[in-house]
Amino acid sequence: MNWYELGPFTVFDFETTGMSPVNDRAVELAALRIDTDGSESAFHSLVDPGRSIPPGVVAIHHITDDMVRGAPRFAAVARDFLEFAEGSTLVAHNAAFDLGFLQEGLARCGLPLWRGKTIDSVRLARRCFPGLGSYRLQSLRAALQLDDEAGNDQAHRAGADVFWTAQVLRRALERALRAGAFAAPGGSGC
């Protein structure tokens, strides 16, 4: 069995104006959908947060007010994203953060909340790659020697983070399959 046959999966990532899903807003959303035949499709949009992006946050993800000016608002991006992800399992690195922004934004816009499955790639990596010093995405990138085929090594941009999270998912699920974690009910995991 190939790892992607356990899907479909939609790996996603938000960049935001801050850390609070209640008080802050999304400025970028990227996703990669991996279907059960192994095919992939990408989703990306900057998001106009309707407020200025604090300078300290711009220093992290390098998304400026000028970049999001004229971008679609969250409601439009969210509708397209939900259609894109429909029928899949969402995957995010530190899923509570990204899912929090998704759910809070959907609620704020009067859109239906995500009711599907979600996988936190941090928890998955801890289980499948025990003993690493850190499970931050950049640490996993180094420890697992993740590829950078996209030629974009800018951490804290949604597209790059999605690319690396998808690789963590692939490596973890391949390891779990080799260990027989999905071969029988109650499999031992990684």
pLDDT tops 80 at residue 150: no
Please report which confidence band the pLDDT of residue 149 belongs to, taking 50, 70 and 90 as the band edges: low
- The model's pTM is 0.93
pLDDT tops 80 at residue 49: yes
What is the CB neighbour count within 10 angstroms for residue 115? 5
In the chain the domains, ranked by start, together with CATH numbers, are: 3-178 (3.30.420.10)
> pLDDT (tens digit, 9 = 90+) per residue, 152-161?
556 668 899 9
Cis peptide before 72 (omega within 30 of 0): no
Q: Where are the alpha helices (DSSP H) in 4-146?
A: 55-61, 65-68, 74-85, 95-109, 121-128, 137-143
The C-alpha atoms of residue 3 and residue 171 are separated, in whole angstroms, by 9
Which amino acids are annotated catalytic?
Answer: 156
Mean per-residue pLDDT of the chain: 93
> pLDDT (tens digit, 9 = 90+) per residue, 101-145?
999 999 999 999 999 999 999 999 999 999 999 999 999 999 999
